[in-house]
Structures are given as structure tokens and as C-alpha cells.
Chains A and B, each alone.
Chain A
Amino acid sequence: MRANSNALGAFAVVALACTISSCSDSDRYSGELVGGQRTVEVSVGRFSYDPSIITVKEGETVAIKLISRDVTHGFYLYDYGIQATVDPGEIRLIGFVADKAGRFSFRCSVTCGWMHPYEYGYLRVLPNRRYHAGVILIVLLTLGSLALAFKRSKRSRDALFGIVPLDWRFELTKYKPVRNLFKNRWFPTLFVVLNSLILVVILVSGLRGGVSAGNLNFGVMIVWVLWWVLLMTIFVPVLGRFWCMVCPFPLLGDWLQRGKLIGVGQHKSWGLGKRWPKRFRNLWPVTMVFFVATFLFGFFTVIPIATFGLLAVVVLGAIIVSVIFEKRTFCLYVCPVSGFQGLYANFAACEVRVKDPAICQTHKPKSCYVGNEKGYGCPWMEQPFDLNRNTYCGLCMECFKTCPHDNMALNLRPFGTDLLTARKRTDDRYNRRGLDEAFKSLTMIGVLVVFFLTMQGPHGWLRDLVSVKTLGGYALFVAAYTVLSFVLVPGLFLLVSYLSKLASGDKQVSLKKVFVGFSYCLVPLGIARWAAFSLGIILVNGSYIPRVLSDPLSVGWNLLGTAGWGFAPFWTGALPYLQTVMLLGGLAFSLEYGYRFAGQIFATGNEAKRGWIPMLLFLMGLSILFLWLFEG
């Protein structure tokens, strides 16, 4: 007990020191202050502002003299709501009183090139109180969680935050209409077909859009603003692989394999029906596909024809893989967005599970796995009777149809309970809780840092590298990005895992077990930071959507009367607060589960407590890093 309180004290001192050092405003202010007015000369060119970070003091009258280095640009300041445009050759004077403190992004408001939506700069109105408050909250939350972890009762250990029991479930399918819906063969295929129609419009608009501005293109906006944000803020965090349920891409492959679109046709694929290699029945392939795809994000998130190309490759890939391999091999092991959906779905508050395992034990035909006249054997090659994690469950609802005992259930549950679930059976088909999932989790950190800095960061040089201004620069980006994601971040995590092992004093535990086991506490925080990042996309770029909805094919229609709508971000003032809350929420879950992982990894309770501290500090640091990225 004495050792514990000493450790706690030492930790508090370190945490406080971190806080103080991050709070110091040693920055120099921008421009010149004459008679209470700070004048800053800013030039803007594709795709950066110079200076890209403007620092002023709260209450000062600020005059920004904006000039263009090349074409017509704009200036939109978050929260302040100031919008201005500057034509080349003119000087635009933007005056305002910096009466709100904090960091405010400003970005271009006039389409000026492909990377236009990523042309960002920061206005820092010091003191940045809300950032400091955020850091303090993160530290307090971490300390509080640690204190709780050290004096937890047995009962509170079995409940999330000591409140919601981990085994709490609410079965949605106990309602007859819901169960009947899931048992209907038209569900969810009808929605898949509807989504396919939208996909066709997206493909056509992407093809027609060619190399025009992505932010004015239906395909680019629907996919990268609407779909991506829905995926990252609602679908994945709350519903799991909900998108997989309604995703249009496997439709043609399913049809080819089954011979029927809605009804039950061929149980054995019309194609080759090969089995995916055993060594690859994990998240490694999708991790790699996603990562290679992100090399090209400078193209396909901003250029219509590139979005078309990417989607076309996915459509064709889905068909080809479905013809060669069995069932949903494409979705499981090839689809670029399958990896993070699968891993993060373990956090979701929804699950498909067996109601009563006893019924399954006596039911020998295993129709949920092999299929019957009512439906197909699990297309995701899960064993529904034995399902205990969401990673590979695509919510296709076939098991509801094939189960003769109505023994499947869609449950609401506390967030994240799957994270605690380790390999259930030694003969399990999937490698669960493995390095693949650990690396999926870890690489998502580097991806987000690079995405955020490129898409919403102040660095024009990074955008130049990503958008392939020069081949050499692009090669540098690919190399640095790969090293960051696969070497530096995992390396740091390995170091922390090693420290954790040392601190625990557990000599028996393998480093790999610590590394893999603790990697799951990155999941809630990962979801939170992706949701926070995505929120910044929709609040700011969402105003492009009404415009493209009115004229999806850019042929001059005005279906909804919104074709003339301009760039009008909303709630940009609330954004930093929402992001702080999201990060804090994610961290709370990470800490809540992380302590339990420690208990799973290390042999004794005391070892777990000691081994948990380095990881807890790492999570705190990671949260502060992302808070700094978003607001600091």
C-alpha cells in the first residue's frame, strides 16, 4: 500500500510538470502591434498561408493584410465566422477584435485547386485556455482512473465505470417486428440495392467530374464527407459493422456466387469457391490494403476521377475475389475499410450473439454455419453459434434466417465489452487478439496524424508532398509515412510495453502478450480521435453537400433548389469543445478497459497495477498529443 501511494505521488508530480510545461505561453506574437492594433501580413497560395500560424493576444484588434501568391483564394475563420476572398494582385484587409481565446483554424473559402479543402492555417488567440483546460482534464481523468484502479472492489470491477455491469444486454430482437424484419430475405438486400443505385450515381459523377474540383463533386462529397463521417462518428463507434450490412460493393459478387439476389439459391459458389490462405485469415491483409490506399489519399479525396478509380477498383476487386474465393472473402480480407471497421466494431454497443448456448450445443446441423433452405451459411465464415467478438461479424443477418430455433439475438450492450474477449476456442478459425489487430490499432495513429496534418494542418509543404508536386517529394512522404506508422509508433508502443513488463515485475509474461494485450486499450481512444477528426470534416465541408445533391451529375440541375449554396461552415465554435469531450470520453473508456487488460496480461493483481502505470501514462500522453493537434 505504501509503495502504491508513493508511485501515485511520483506520478502526480510528473503529470503536473507535463501540464505546466504544456501550458506555458512562450510564443512570440505575429506581425506588428501599433496603437493596440496588430497588423499581420499574410500571403496565400496553393495550398498554404504564410505565415500559417498567426499568434495574437486576446482582446487585440487584429488586421490581416491578405494577398494572393497565385490565384483567387479565400479566408474563412472558424468561430469568428469571418469570410473574405482575395483576387491576385489585390490586398484584402480583414479586421476583427480577437475577443475569443483559443486556437481557431482558418481555411480557404474559394475553390483554388484540388487541395483547396485542405488549405489551412491557425489563428492562436492566447492564452489558449480551453486547450490548457483540456490538458488538465486529461491529467485529472488519468489520475482519477489510476486512483480508482488501485482501490477497486470486486463488484466495481465487473461493471463499466462501476455502474453498468459488463454483462448487461438488452435484446432488440425480442420485439417481434424486429426479429421478423431480420428474418425476411429482403432485409438487408433491399437497402444494399438502394445503396447500389447511389453508388452508380457516385461512379457516374466521379467519371464525369474528371479532374475538376472534388469539393464540388457529388461522388467525392458523398463518399469522403458524408459517408466517411457517418462511418467514423456513428456507424463504427455505435453500430459496429453496420456499414457492411448495407454496403453495395459485394452485391454483384454475392449474386454471382448464389445465383439469386434475394432468395436462397446455390449454397456452393458458382465460382471457384477457394479458401483464403490460412496465414492471411486475420487483419493483416486489410491493414495493408488500407495503408497502401492511404498513400493515394491526396488524389482520391479531392479529385472526382480518382474517387471513381478507387471505387471502380473496389467494385471490380469485389467481383473478382468473389469469383475466385468463397463467400465474403473480399469483405473479410481485402476490403480497405474492413480492417478498422472490424477492429473498432469490438467497441460498438451492438452485437449479434446467441441467446442460449445450450440450444446450439444440442442443435447438431449447425445450419447457421452451413446454411439451409431459409438462408446461407454465415457469409462472413463466422461460427454464429460460437460468436464472441464483432471483428468478423458483418451483421448480414443470415444467421437469423437460418437458425431454426430463433436463437440469434441483436443486443445492445455496454461499449467495448468485446475488447476483453480473448481467443475463445483453441481451434478458432481466426487469429484473435493477435499482432494483426495490434498493428491495425497502432497504424491508425500514424494515419490519423498524417491525415489531420495534411487535411487540416497549417503545413503547405506536407500538402505539396502528398499531392505529388514532385515525384521525389512523394517518395519521401511514402517512406516517412510508412516508417512513422509501422516502425516509430509501434516501436514506441513496444518500448512502453517493455517498461510495463519491467514495472510489473512479472518475469513470466511475454513481451508480445503485453504488446498485443495492451494494444486494445488504443481502440476506444482511436475511435474517439477519428470521430473528433471526422467531425471537423463535416461541420466545415458539410455545406458543399446540399449543392452537389441538387446537381449530382454537374449538368446544371437544381433538384432541391440548393445548387447555388456556397461555402458555409457551421458550429465551428463548438468544434474544439466537442473534440475535447470526444477525446476525454475515448480516454475514459481506454483507461477503464486498459486496467482490465493489465489484469488479463499479468499474473497477479499487484503486478497488473504496477504494469498498468506506464501504459496509462502513454495513453495520457497520446490523448494530450491529439488534443494538441486539434487545439493546441
Chain B
Amino acid sequence: MRYTIDTGARKHTTATMLRFFVPLLLLGAAFFGVMYSLTRDRLVGVTEEEPLRIGYTTSDLPLDPLAEYWAGMAAMRIHLWPQNARVPYGTEERDIWVRGAYNGGEIAFQVEFADDTENRDVAPKPDACAVFIEPADSPAMGQMMAQGGSGNIWHWRADWDTAQHQNASDSVKAVAELITSGPGTQTPLESQNVTAKGEHRDGKWYVVFKRSLSSQQDGAIELAPGSDPLISFAVWDGAKTESFAAKSIAIVRPLILERD
């Protein structure tokens, strides 16, 4: 039997400890490194959405969708995907063309999208188009899915547009200004400050949305250069009986109000 004697062992303790703990910690660090890299996000098929940039103008912003003003402006093509998070799902992919501008007091967008049939009646379903704007610091889970968010929706419907034409009074509007804090929570804002007008020509809808930059009411998003909120669009095709969640939507992207 061998009995080792303790004397002299102590001075070797530091070296022994290093021999043991350094490899142990290195091994731990290596394990951590491998697991850390394996568990990080590796994005596949994700492209950054190009911001929608709109320019400043000193002129008035026409509500008429067919005005020369809009025709002369370069449009941004935005792709819409079938809505795929809520039943009923959307079914169509489509492209829309968006133009926009702001002046000292107002902001306006013109949305252009192809639609062979002009459905201005409640039956089968009216054509419709919506703009969705939410603050830049909204939860990453955007697209109206986040509960407790505070997005604004400007919802234009062809049947309301007809009613607006026929009434010619302020009480009937072609657009509803809504606030949403999640699916199924859209509520009209107290004061409806958005105006909109749609025209159908040569198989295409042209819809203009207009609102004052500063909304001055609770829940409505303030728009100003530098605020850079997030924006998205949705389109419903009445001929395909699309309504509610059955729609095509764009992925949210930054809206940049360019200074002069």
C-alpha cells in the first residue's frame, strides 16, 4: 500500500489547480461558444423591406385620384401577400403602386392597384383598400397582430365611396379612421380626420387618402419628418368576396417623410 505524504504538496497547488481549472473553463467556454452560435438566429429568405419615402411639397395635395399631380409622380411598387395569420386567410398576391407627399399641414397617399371589376356594392363584397400606420417603436410582432399596440388604420371602401359621392355631405365618408390594439379591436377614432376618394379606370383602382400631419386627438398617430413610423397596405377584391381578414397585405416598412 502506498501512503503519500502531504508535505510539499501545497506549493504545487497553484500549478495543479491551473492544470485542472483552465482546461475545465476552456471546455466550458468552447461548449458555450458552440451552443451560442447554434442557437442564434440564422435568417433564411428574409429581405429588408425598402422604406416608403415621400417628398415634401409646397403645393396643395389633391384628393382627386386622377389628378395630374399624382400621374406625374414616381410610384413605389409594393408587393402584397395573402394575409396568413388569421382566419379567413387571404388568397391573392398582388402588386400595388403607392405615391405620397406631404406639405406644411397635410399628408396624402395615392394607392393604385389592378382590379378588373369595379365592385361598389355591399354584394358580393365591396372593393376596399387600407393604409396601416403604427409608431416606429411598435412591438416587432407588427402587422396588427400585437395585442396592446396602437396602430391607425385608414380603411377605404368602394361602397362608402359611392355613398360619399351621392351624399356630398361631410357626414358620409368613404374612409374610416380606426385605431387598433390587436386583431378584432378596430375602433373608430372619435374625430374622423381622414378623407379619401377612389376612382376606377381601365381595370385599376386609384385611391387617395389624406390627413392632417398632426391629428390632435388621442390614439391618432402624429406624423412629422423624423418620426419615421411603420406603414403597411391592404387590398380587398370584392369580386372574390374578400372581406375582413381575407385580404392581401404588405409587410410593414418604414415610412420616411423626406425633408425638402
- Which residues of A are in contact with B by a Cβ distance under 8 Å? 43, 67-70, 88-91, 114, 211, 277-280, 285, 288-289, 292-293, 295-296, 299-300, 303, 305-306, 309-310, 313, 366, 369, 383, 427, 429, 467-468, 471
Q: Could you mark each residue 1-31 of chain B with 1 if its beta carbon is under 8 Å from any beta carbon of chain A, else 0?
A: 1011010011011001000110011011001
Q: B85 within 8 Å of A by Cβ?
A: yes
Report the nearest B residue to A427, measured CB to CB: B3
Report the nearest B residue to A298, measured CB to CB: B35
What are 26 A-B contacts with C-beta separation under 8 Å?
A67-B147, A67-B182, A68-B147, A69-B146, A69-B147, A88-B145, A89-B85, A90-B183, A114-B39, A278-B6, A279-B10, A279-B12, A288-B20, A293-B28, A295-B32, A296-B28, A296-B31, A296-B32, A299-B31, A299-B32, A299-B35, A299-B39, A303-B38, A306-B35, A429-B4, A468-B36
- Which residues of B are in contact with A by a Cβ distance under 8 Å? 1, 3-4, 6, 9-10, 12-13, 16, 20-21, 24-25, 27-28, 31-32, 34-36, 38-39, 85-86, 139, 141, 145-148, 182-183
Q: How many A-B residue pairs have CB under 8 A?
A: 81
Q: Report the separation of the CA atoms of residues A101 and B212 in the bound assembly, to the nearest whole angstrom.
A: 56
- Nearest-CB distance from A304 to chain B (Å)? 11
- Nearest-CB distance from A498 to chain B (Å)? 26
Q: Report the separation of the CA atoms of residues A309 and B34 in the bound assembly, to the nearest whole angstrom.
A: 9
Residues of chain B within 8 A of A69, CB atoms compared = 139, 141, 146-147
| Among B20, B21, B148: residue with most chain A CB under 10 A | B20
Neighbour of A313 across the interface among B31, B32, B145, CB < 8 A: B31
Given A67-B147, A70-B141, A285-B20, answer yes or no on A278-B9 (Cβ-Cβ < 8 Å).
yes
Q: Report the separation of the CA atoms of residues A453 and B259 in the bound assembly, to the nearest whole angstrom.
A: 52
Residues of chain B within 8 A of A471, CB atoms compared = 36
Give 13 new A-B contacts, CB below 8 A, not counting A88-B85, A89-B145: A43-B147, A67-B182, A89-B85, A89-B182, A277-B12, A289-B24, A292-B28, A295-B32, A296-B31, A296-B32, A299-B35, A310-B31, A429-B4
Residues of chain A within 8 A of B145, CB atoms compared = 88-89
Q: Which 8 A-B pairs have the closest CB atoms?
A: A89-B183, A299-B35, A292-B28, A67-B147, A277-B16, A89-B145, A427-B3, A278-B4
Q: Report the separation of the CA atoms of residues A369 and B2 in the bound assembly, to the nearest whole angstrom.
A: 11
Residues of chain A within 8 A of B34, CB atoms compared = 309
Q: Report the separation of the CA atoms of residues A619 and B182 in the bound assembly, to the nearest whole angstrom.
A: 51
Residues of chain A within 8 A of B32, CB atoms compared = 295-296, 299
Q: Report the separation of the CA atoms of residues A176 and B83 in the bound assembly, to the nearest whole angstrom.
A: 75
- Nearest-CB distance from A156 to chain B (Å)? 39
Q: Contact at B39–A288, with CB atoms within 8 Å?
A: no
Report the nearest A residue to B4, measured CB to CB: A278
Q: Report the separation of the CA atoms of residues A313 and B32 in the bound assembly, to the nearest whole angstrom.
A: 13
Report the nearest B residue to A305, measured CB to CB: B38
Q: Report the separation of the CA atoms of residues A70 and B1 in the bound assembly, to the nearest whole angstrom.
A: 65
Q: Report the separation of the CA atoms of residues A69 and B32 in the bound assembly, to the nearest whole angstrom.
A: 29
Q: Contact at A309–B85, with CB atoms within 8 Å?
A: no
Q: Contact at A288–B21, with CB atoms within 8 Å?
A: yes
- Nearest-CB distance from A327 to chain B (Å)? 13
- Nearest-CB distance from B5 to chain A (Å)? 9
Q: Contact at A280–B16, with CB atoms within 8 Å?
A: yes
Residues of chain B within 8 A of A313, CB atoms compared = 27, 31
Report the nearest B residue to A383, measured CB to CB: B1
